[in-house]
Structure 1
Amino acid sequence: MKRCIFLINYLAIGLLFSCQYEFPEPEQLSPDSGQADFTKMVTIGSSITAGVMDAALYNRSQQNSYAVILAQQMKEAGGGDFNVPDINAENGDLILSATGGNLGRLILTLNQTTGSILPTPIVPGDALTAFSGDKTTLNNFGVNGLSLAAALLPASGNIQEPSNPLFNPYYARFASDPGNSTPIGDAASALANGGTFFVFWLGKNDVLPYALTGGAIPELLTSEQDFSLRYQTALGTMLQANLEAKGAIGNIPNINELPYFSTVAWNALPLDNTLAALANSVFTDYNNGLDNLATAGMISVSERDLRKINFTAGQNGFVIDDKTLTDLSEMGLPSIRQTNIEDKVALTTGQILGLSPGEDPTLIYGVTVPIGDSYILLPSEQEIMEEKINAFNQIIATTISANEDRLVLVDTKNLLERIGQSTETANGIALSNSISPPYGVFSTDGVHPNARGSAVVANHFIEGINDKWNSTIPKANPNAYIGNDLPR
């Protein structure tokens, strides 16, 4: 079969137009702190709190995190300086790279030959370096990849020579005592040293790694028992660090709904009549074998129909491995099927779909070579994810309710749901749960918000804080913050 490179257009044609647009300025009340005190705010969280965007932490992303934007708005209501561990990198170090190497943040790139628009790394990227500033003045303890366990445990090693599997270079670069201190310990110390308010947003990375690996590694999901113990310990440490400080707590969004799993469509494989017929000829024996097994009662008719491979002219589901299917390997039949509308496809699938893994032109990913489990969230895996997130969020809500005089729950799960339903607006402009400018609020990695999305998240925190303590922190204007850059 002739090697094919299929045209996969992820984004609407609106990408080709300007991403600048005007928001009307909202009417604001006179700023006031109400029953809270924002003199010194401390934040603890994962990559979103750190400011990761476009699969990297770099200067522009770090300075446009929701935490930085929130602190800027708090200044008008009595807030003080907000210091971050400066990354000093224009392009950053790609954190979602499957191949490694000196790659920087993702950008949208227009292929002049095919017309495809793809997130592509900048080359070269920037080496991660240690923070050289004053660690004792830091306010932001957001760390990429930070799970609850990693927030509580010291990871030995240093940024030049890591020696521990738990080592996190993004924390080591600004840790108070690399190898001995912990992110929670450092954040608590900052809060104890004159802190008046804190933002706590941990828990996402107790489920996200499972999702980003397509549900292929169940061990990446934290148990509910461990989550509860670790969450109460981490939040309790912050509460005990300063008995007067109040805090805003973010919960876990529905990770199934991230653009990382919706940008590449389940039927992203375009074929003409000739190619469809050629591809179908490869699976004649496979389909006949399924018919025979169904007739013999060894598999159900519904499973036979699910497993059958049938390409047509137009957009097609592509061939994937599915470990949940009946094992028919003894009959010489693999556990494969075509994707359908219930599957969630990873954004990174676009990097291989329709391409050949080697020199053999008959081998094509998604046709004759199944797409692996790590690229697809199967329906059963999505259900596991949703159950975990709901259980973890209930633990979070219960923990907050035990300290409701000092804490407010900021329902970020609800925010993402509203954005997904196109019911969330920013000053009258509907936002979209996508990476497509100008209204998409996610950066090009499909996981982290872009600067404009970070302003929306900051506003959501402001709403919760203002409602809880009768504050009047002014909201940010999302149009003051850039969305995704147009394709290069």
Structure 2
Amino acid sequence: MKNLKYIYFSLGILAFTACNDPEDVDLEPEVMAEALVELNAGSADFSTYVSLGNSLTAGFTDNALFQAGQANSFPNLLSTKFSLVGGGSFSQPLMNDNIGGLLAGGAQIEGFNPRLVFGGAGPVDLADVVGEVTPTTDIVLNNPSGPFNNMGVPGAKSFHLLAPGYGNIANLSAQLANPYFVRMTGATPDARVLELAMAQSPTFFSLWIGNNDVLGYALSGGDGTNPITDQSTFDLAIGTIVTTLTSGGAKGVMANIPYVTSIPHFTTVPHDPINPEENDFAAQVPTLNTVYGALNQVYNAMGETDRVVVFSDSLNNAVVIKDEALVDISAQITGAFNANPAFPVFVTQLGLPEAAAPLVATLLGTTYGQTRPATENDLLVLSSSSIIGKVNEESFAALSAANLPAAVAGQFSVEGITLPLADKWVLTPEEQDEIKIATDQFNATIASAASGAGLAFVDANQLLQDLAQGGVTDGDFTLTANLVTGGGFSLDGVHLTARGYALIANEFMKAIDVTYQSNFEASGSLFNIGNFPTNYSPALQ
């Protein structure tokens, strides 16, 4: 690979043409269309409505929480309809701007960034379009005053609704607190989410929780840094929450957990994104195949044919991934190369002296002992699109420290091509099975809790599967799960658009009709989802 330059591919994985131009959002509640019959609440009492959940309840969209998104949160939308049949006021812990992101004493909180916007070809940071932006929501300086009817806390798992100190800023450094909940606890920093909800004596509630109990694991590629909640903890949390919420006679509605395969964060980046026509990749194929050819001989000799890598100069190429479910054959690879008298000659083709052969043999063994080409059964997380084909700086530094020339260090550090994608970028079939099994078990718990308490139930899992499998039509509009163009999912590929949240609000009202004999649907009181934007203008700040 001595003639191969540092490879820095701009793969164009997310090259989209949006079907909707950016839209400014009308923050005023939609005026109800003329009713077909008189609207009534049935047996539900909406006088004090409280919503509990995570980011999907808070109105999180485009990878951030901001005022316009909160105005279109499904609980806030529901509250405008509930107000027509005796519902009271509905308060939310509003952010200070439409930028998104959080500060603590003027400093940006890592990982809590401004929102994404459509950049013409795909999702980009707001700053890439409008220039430098600074969030104004500061959890030390300007938290709002409660109580809040919307108790949706982005990032919360089921058991977090019961955790004391989850909103105490003193617990942030130990990662035992959530900055969004810090904004909501006020003078009672150790109060629980459920405690603050119950303090309002709710007559009606919505509960959509549990997504993060599996989603955290999925978003981290199943690398173990954010494990799936154990079943007993989840069961105890859901049971406690529902029992407590209904203890005063409150009625409510619950929703279950969608499969991760239904959301574009895991279905947008293909397993074979490397286009040989881009960035002169086709010219590099012979050299890459020479290097992998040496490895392929070892794979074939060991009967590990699924690990063989051959790049094409005419077809799209799969990325190379690390699969921890594979038997680690690092030692066998290194041993085979060290035992091969021709290997030192191969090493000289890399521009290295023959004396470097043991080092290169160890490098190849360590790097490719658990690797294979990705297949269509693997799911690449959306964020992988930003690193595929780029030089991994940590790998480059490590190889340089091992006395490899800079050119060689760079050539062996190209993400997904010469450096296998790490576990955090890919959900393998085994990891997907773990997630599905847990989701099914959690959903059984949720359905049982809803049924046992006589609550309305929304099958959000089926709804989002329908979005992914052809789309869902509501009125004159059909939403799909395609990123950017589908209208249902926001630019982060996980959370919904305002139009998507309006669809969810309609589904909640339909479920309430079934259980409590209200008539939101029959009275023509559902939302026209076409009145809600699918994206927000970068100028909205």
User: Into which bin does the TM-score normalised by the smaller protein fall?
Assistant: 0.7 to 0.9
Q: Which residue of 2 aligns with 1:113?
A: none
Distance 1:66 1:17 in 2: 23
Aligned to 2:414, what secondary structure does the other structure show?
coil
User: Are 1:235 and 2:242 an aligned pair?
Assistant: yes
Would the aligned equivalents of 2:22 and 2:536 in 1 still touch at CA under 8 Å? no
One-letter amino acid matched to 1:480: N
Residue 139 in structure 1 maps to residue 149 in structure 2: yes
Contact 1:343 1:378 in 2 (8 A): yes
User: Which residue is equivalent to 1:344?
Assistant: 379
Question: Letter of the aligned partner of 1:475 in structure 2?
Answer: L
Partner of 1:301: none
**Contact 2:146/2:184, CA 8 A, preserved across alignment:** yes
Aligned residue for 1:454?
501
Corresponding residue for residue 266 of structure 2:
261
- What secondary structure sits across from 2:275 in the alignment? strand
Q: Distance in 1 between matches of 2:173 and 2:102?
A: 21
Residues 64 and 392 of structure 1, relative CA distance in 2, 3 Å threshold = same
**2:17 aligns to what?**
13
Give the C-alpha shift of residue 127 in structure 1.
Answer: 5.0
Judged with a 3 Å threshold, the aligned counterparts in structure 2 of structure 1 residues 148 and 52 are, in CA distance, closer, same or farther, namely: same
The one-letter code sitting in structure 1 at the alignment partner of 2:14 is Y
One-letter amino acid of the structure 2 residue matched with residue 65 of structure 1:
S
Partner of 1:318: 319
Aligned residue runs from structure 1 range 163-242, under 5 A: 163-190=173-200, 192=201, 195-217=202-224, 220-240=227-247, 242=248
Instruction: Output the amino acid matched with 1:385.
Output: I
Tell me which amino acid in the other structure corresponds to 1:462: M
Report if aligned partners of 1:102, 1:125 keep a CA contact under 8 Å in 2: no
Q: Distance in 1 between matches of 2:146 and 2:374?
A: 49
2:528 to 477, 480, 484: 477
The 1:355/1:27 distance shift into structure 2, 3 A limit, reads farther
TM-score normalised by length of structure 2: 0.79
Secondary structure of the residue aligned to 1:80 is coil
Contact 1:102/1:124, CA 8 A, preserved across alignment: no
**3-state SS of 2:185 partner:** coil
Change (3 A) 1:157 1:431: closer
> 1:248-274 deviations in whole A, cap 9, x for unaligned?
011111123211001111111111432
Amino acid at match of 1:276: V
- After superposition, the C-alpha distances for 1:194-239 in whole angstroms (9 at most, x for unaligned) are x321101111111110001001117611111111111101121111
Name the residue aligned to 2:491: 444
Cα contact 2:63–2:492 (8 A) shared by 1: yes
Larger Rg over CA atoms: 2
- Check if 1:417 corresponds to 2:465: yes
Alignment of 1:49-448 (within 5 A): 49-93=57-101, 100=110, 103-110=113-120, 116-122=121-127, 123-130=132-139, 132-136=143-147, 138-155=148-165, 158-159=168-169, 162-190=172-200, 192=201, 195-217=202-224, 220-240=227-247, 242-243=248-249, 245-272=250-277, 273-294=282-303, 304-312=304-312, 313-332=314-333, 333=365, 334=368, 335-358=370-393, 360=407, 361-362=410-411, 363-404=413-454, 407-437=455-485, 439-448=486-495
Shift of 1:288: 0.8
CA contact (8 A) 1:103 1:124 kept: no
Identity percentage over the alignment?
29
SS class of match (1:107):
strand
- Structure 1 segments of 4 or more deviating over 6 A? none
Secondary structure in 1 aligned to 2:246? helix
Contact 1:11 1:263 in 2 (8 A): no
**Structure 2: distance between partners of 1:53 and 1:221:** 23
Provide the C-alpha distance between the structure 2 equivalents of 1:17 and 1:129, rounded to a whole number of angstroms. 31
Contact 1:16 1:486 in 2 (8 A): no
Would you say the 8 A contact 2:11–2:388 is kept in 1?
A: no
1:466 CA drift (Å): 1.1
Amino acid aligned to 1:350: S
Q: What is the TM-score of this pair, normalised by structure 1? A: 0.88
1:321 and 1:210 map into 2 onto residues whose CA distance is 17
Quote how far apart the aligned CAs of 1:9 are.
3.6
**Runs of at least 5 residues in structure 1 that lack an aligned partner in the other structure:** 111-115, 295-303
Structure 2 letter corresponding to 1:86: L
Distance 1:121 1:103 in 2: 10
Pick closer, same or farther for the CA change 1:486–1:84 going to 2, 3 Å: closer
Whole-Å separation in 1 of the counterparts to 2:288 and 2:102: 36
Please state whether the residue corresponding to 1:271 is helix, strand or coil. Answer: coil
**1:431-479: per-residue Cα shift (whole Å, max 9, x none)?**
1112223x42111111110111110111110110112112122111111
Shift of 1:120: 2.9
**1:382–1:141 Cα change, 3 Å:** same
Q: 1:470 to 1:161 in 2, by over 3 A?
A: closer
Question: Is residue 378–residue 427 contact of structure 2 (8 Å, CA) maintained in 1?
Answer: yes
Secondary structure of 1:220's partner?
coil
Aligned pair count reads 459
Structure 1 residue 119, shift from structure 2 partner? 3.3
Deviation at 1:65?
0.9
Bigger drift between 35-44 and 351-360 goes to 351-360
Shift of 1:82: 0.9
Q: Could you tell me how far 1:118 is from its partner in structure 2?
A: 3.8
Q: Is the 8 A contact 2:502 2:529 kept in 1?
A: yes
Q: Structure 1 pair 64/235, CA: closer, same or farther in 2 (3 Å)?
A: same
Deviation at 1:26, TM superposition (A): 9.8
Q: Distance in 2 between matches of 1:151 and 1:90?
A: 27
- In structure 2, the partner of 1:44 is 52
Residues 49-72 of structure 1 deviation map (CA, whole Å, 9 limit, x = unaligned):
111111111111111111111112
What code does the residue aligned with 1:460 have?
E
Give the letter for the 1:356 counterpart. V
Q: Which moved more, 1:215-224 or 1:446-455?
A: 215-224
- Counterpart of 2:340? none
Which position in structure 2 is the counterpart of 1:298? Answer: none
Compared CA separation, residues 29 and 417, structure 1 to 2 (3 A): farther
Q: Distance in 1 between matches of 2:38 and 2:481?
A: 32
Distance 1:230 1:219 in 2: 18
Instruction: State the superposition RMSD in angstroms.
Output: 2.6
1:43 aligned counterpart, secondary structure? strand
Q: Which amino acid in 2 is paired with 1:206?
A: D
Q: Deviations over 1:157-197 (max 9, x none)?
A: 7447734421111101111544420001111111x1xx321
Contact 1:40 1:196 in 2 (8 A): yes
Q: Report if aligned partners of 1:214, 1:375 keep a CA contact under 8 Å in 2.
A: yes
The AA in structure 2 aligned to 1:337 is R
The alignment partner of 1:171 has SS state of helix
Gaps of 5+ in 2: 25-32, 104-108, 334-364, 394-405
